[in-house]
Amino acid sequence: MASSTNIKVVCRFRPPNALELREGGDIVVAFDENLQTVQMKNSQAVSGPEKDGFTFDRVFPMGTKQHEVFDYGVKDIVKDVLDGYNGTVFAYGQTGSGKTFTMMARSIHIILNFMPDFCSLGRGH
């Protein structure tokens, strides 16, 4: 039987890329202490419903490690898939927002490092 994995909506912020660092780009978002809400730092310029920020099941700030995203949002889905159930991890965002970074990290070697974890999940958990 599939675990009680429900839909989770998370928001992962990638670290600044080389161009953003070189050109002195600013971080324009702030995160609450519960890591569930993200808000524009200059909230005086924001009006409407977004002035209070955006709330998710979990927010992953720029310094988040890949394994933290995996453990929270992917691990249970992988377990279910290995048990024969359907599962989906859906990454959505504009070009350059960090989808590939989140799914692949800086190198395919990160994914390969997770392979032993994937395999152990399928062996009786």
> What global pTM score does this model have?
0.72
Residue 64 counted as an annotated binding residue: no
Residue 98 counted as an annotated binding residue: yes
Residue 84 counted as an annotated binding residue: no
Residue 95 counted as an annotated binding residue: yes
Task: Identify the structural domains of the chain with CATH numbers, from first to last.
Answer: 10-121 (3.40.850.10)
Region label for 89, one of left (φ > 0), alpha (ψ between -120 and 50) or beta (otherwise): beta
Q: How far apart are the first and last CA of the chain?
A: 13
82 phi and psi angles, rounded to 5 deg: -65, -20
Taking the C-alpha atoms of residue 101 and residue 28, their distance in angstroms, rounded to an integer, is: 19
Residue 37 counted as an annotated binding residue: no
pLDDT, tens digit, for every residue of 12-69? 898 888 888 999 988 889 999 999 999 988 766 667 777 788 999 999 999 888 888 8
Label residue 80 by pLDDT band (50, 70, 90).
confident
Residue 100 counted as an annotated binding residue: yes
Burial class (CB in 10 A: 0-12, 13-18, 19+), 116: exposed
Residue 88 counted as an annotated binding residue: no
